[in-house]
Each structure stands twice: as structure tokens, then as C-alpha cells.
Structure 1
Amino acid sequence: MARKTFISYKYSEAQGTRDKILGALGMDARYYQGETSTSPNLTDRKTETIKNHLKKMIFDTSVTIVVISPNMKLSNWINWEIEYSLRETTREDRTSRSNGIVGVIQKDYYFGGYGWILNSIRNPDGCSSRSIDESKLYDIIIKNRTNLKNPIYACPTCQSVDSLNGSYISLVTEDDFISNPNQYIENAYEKSKKINVFNITKQTNAQKNWWSSFL
């Protein structure tokens, strides 16, 4: 079943990935609630205007797709969009529940691959697993990874956590996501239905401080 989705991304470097995702969704792209190449430009609008516009789009969705790109942390909005996606929000007579969230790691279009953030490591027991450069990620993403209360291990010996089901915010490569977007969207949605089995962080101090600068 198709889910209403919102894509959070840094426009200057990830609009192409956004368009690829929408293309991969095919007919299901009609359930997408976020910006497209034909959306009005809001960059010159006031912060509160932009925020209200984003709230309207996110509120009616059930899954947020976050494009993990090299300079994502320079965005003024992605961190807030993730945190708003995790809130239970009431508008008029409706209350939304926390969105499922999946991170899509953007491929390096100059050199290919994902070495800018991913590395493969070999554990002492001989298993291979991936390591992620967390300096590229917002705290809200880091705190909602490997946060299943009863961990699911891909390997019980080295206790490497299942990359898809062991985190509320799973990170998948662009290639994997594009090949089967509904698999990952549905996985994120199903986790949102049982959110209580995760230790969820819905807001970080960095975000509180960011918004205080506009008061």
C-alpha cells in the first residue's frame, strides 16, 4: 500500500536525488506531499512563513525520506523537518502520529560510491559490517539509530545491529532505495506503528537553541 511521503533534502546538492526518488516511486509519487521542481521558491520568505508551509506538508504524511548528502548539516531546515516529523501534532480536530523515517545516502556523483560516509570494517570474529561517519549526521539521526529496546543483531557473535530493523531511522544507499523504494518506505511505516519498542528522541538541545535565535 502506498504511503504519503515527504522528502527532506538540501536543495543545492540533493534535488537530483529527490527527483530520482520521485521517479522510482512511479504512480505512487502522487502521494508525495513535499516540494517538486515546480514548487514556488520560498527562500526569500520569513522563517515563520517557511515553517508553516513545511508543517502543512509534513502533517498529512506518514513517512519522511531524508536525503543524507555530504553537506546536509549546512541546511537550515532538515534538522527541524526531522524533528517535526517525529512529533505528534494536533491541527484543528486531527492529531498526527510520529512519521516513520528512512535516510537515503546519496551517491558521490564525482567519484561514485558512498565512501564519503560509509566504510566496511571486519570484526574480530571475521564478520564484515559497515561503519558510518556520524560527523556527517545530525544528532537527531544519531540518537534514533541502534535504539531498539531489545536489539536485533545481524550477527549475535559480534553484535552488529541489523541495519534495517535495528534502528528507528535506518540508513540505506541511494542505489538500494531506488531499486525498491516501497520496501524501505513500508519498513519505516511499520516501525512507526510500533514506535514504543524503540528509545525515541524527538528533540535535541541543538534544535532548541536553533529556534531560540528566531524568538
Structure 2
Amino acid sequence: MINKIYISCEPKDSSVKHLSGSMTTTVNDYVTYIENKLANNKIYRGIHGSEFHGDITEEYISEEIKYKILDSTLTILLISPDMKAADGDERTQWIPWEILYSLTPTLRFDKVMRSNAVIAVILPDKSGDYSYFNKLSTFKILSENIKGGYIPIVKWRQLIYNFDKCIQLAYERKERTHSVYRNVE
């Protein structure tokens, strides 16, 4: 089976551990790492760092993101210490919408597009620690689907060493559990 993968994250968050060979690291570097790791049976359908620039409207970006998510079968959500904006208004941030688009079955070209399998991956903070996640205020749609058992959580090191096993876990959860796909609040 070919997996089409979309990665949701806060790409400019630099509060993560440096990847080897890099002086400064952002979450986007982790996206690139995953993209380079994908084998022939996996296709990256996410956003590239420089894809949206210039006089592009938010509506255009939203439609492009929605299209890429609808054309994928798996969403990997990279969790980082500063992924959520300080103001807390989830309606103005992309990640909750990307989660919603991933979880919501959609009618497209007279065909029902099934929801994606989703997996949350905790990235290490600058010191290489993962415990920040226990205190992190996450998006409501994310926390509801983690608590409901639909979205499994793994640490970055688990994903790198057992990539296929982690991806399979997301697909298994999708088949066994119903997502909570309310509107973003």
C-alpha cells in the first residue's frame, strides 16, 4: 500500500533539539528529515517551507492545505514546545485546521474521501527532553482525539527507529476508534 503523508507542524519553532550536523534547527528540519527517510511506498504530500510566499491569500493557502490533506492517507503531527501561539486563539492557527481536515470525511468529486490516520510525534526540546509535553497546553481537537484513543503519541526517537511500526499503529487506531472532529474553537 502506498502511503501519502501530510506533516502538520509549526515549521519555524526553533525550541527543539538540534539535528546532527546542524547549527540551528527548526521543526522544518525534522520535516525534511522525515521526507528524506520516506521509501518508495511513501509519498510526502505536505507543505514545503518556501511554498507560500508573496501576495498569497489565506484562503488560497487554506484550500491548498485542504487539497494536500484530502490527497493523503496519513497525517503526522509534529509536537514542539512552541507549536501553539501564546494568544491561544485556535481559530487563527493552522494546526487545528489541519487536524480537522485530516479527521473529517469529505465529499469530493462525488466520492467520499475517508479521514486520515493521524499520529502525534513529540519532538525533543533543546535539551533533548520530552517531559515538556506533560505541561504543554495543546489544541482542544488534538487533546480530545488523544484522550479518545484515535491519535496515538510517540516520541521522535521511537518514530526514527520504528517508522513503519509507528505508521501502522496510526492506521490500526483509525480502524478501531472513532475520531472527534468538531469545529475548531
Same fold, TM-score > 0.5, yes or no: yes
C-alpha contact 1:25 1:182 (8 A) present in aligned 2:
no
Amino acid at match of 1:133: K
C-alpha contact 1:62 1:100 (8 A) present in aligned 2:
yes
| Structure 1: unaligned runs, 5 residues or longer | 118-131, 148-166, 209-215
Find the counterpart in structure 1 of residue 19 from structure 2. none
Cα RMSD for the two superposed structures: 2.0
1:113 Cα deviation after fit: 2.0
C-alpha contact 1:134 1:142 (8 A) present in aligned 2:
no
Find the counterpart in structure 1 of residue 88 from structure 2. none
Match of 1:182 among 148, 164, 170: 164
* Superposition TM-score, scaled by structure 1 size: 0.70
Give the aligned length. 166
CA distance in 2, matches of 1:53, 1:90: 16
C-alpha contact 2:47 2:65 (8 A) present in aligned 1:
no
1:42 Cα deviation after fit: 4.1
2:5 is the alignment partner of 1:23: no
2:102 is the alignment partner of 1:85: yes
Match of 1:169 among 130, 134, 151: 151
1:192 Cα deviation after fit: 1.9
Question: Rg bigger for which structure?
Answer: 1
- Relative to structure 1, the CA distance from residue 43 to residue 143 in structure 2 (aligned partners, 3 Å threshold; closer, same or farther) is farther
CA distance in 2, matches of 1:134, 1:96: 32
2:126 is the alignment partner of 1:114: no
Deviations 1:89-122 (CA, angstroms, capped at 9, x unpaired): 11112221111110011111x31121322xxxxx
2:63 is the alignment partner of 1:58: no
Deviations 1:56-110 (CA, angstroms, capped at 9, x unpaired): 10011111000001111128201100011111111112221111110011111x3
Which 4+ runs in 1 deviate beyond 3 A?
Answer: 26-29
| Partner SS for 2:181 | coil
Amino acid at match of 1:114: Y
Amino acid at match of 2:142: I
CA distance in 2, matches of 1:44, 1:26: 35
C-alpha contact 2:120 2:154 (8 A) present in aligned 1:
yes
CA distance in 1, matches of 2:164, 2:73: 13
2:122 is the alignment partner of 1:105: yes
Amino acid at match of 1:138: F
Q: State the identity as a percent.
A: 32
| Structure 2: unaligned runs, 5 residues or longer | 14-26, 86-91
Find the counterpart in structure 2 of residue 67 from structure 1. 78
* Superposition TM-score, scaled by structure 2 size: 0.81
C-alpha contact 2:102 2:115 (8 A) present in aligned 1:
yes
Find the counterpart in structure 2 of residue 32 from structure 1. 44
C-alpha contact 1:102 1:185 (8 A) present in aligned 2:
yes
CA distance in 1, matches of 2:59, 2:98: 14
- Relative to structure 1, the CA distance from residue 36 to residue 28 in structure 2 (aligned partners, 3 Å threshold; closer, same or farther) is farther
C-alpha contact 2:81 2:136 (8 A) present in aligned 1:
no
Find the counterpart in structure 2 of residue 9 from structure 1. 9
| Partner SS for 1:65 | strand
CA distance in 2, matches of 1:79, 1:35: 16
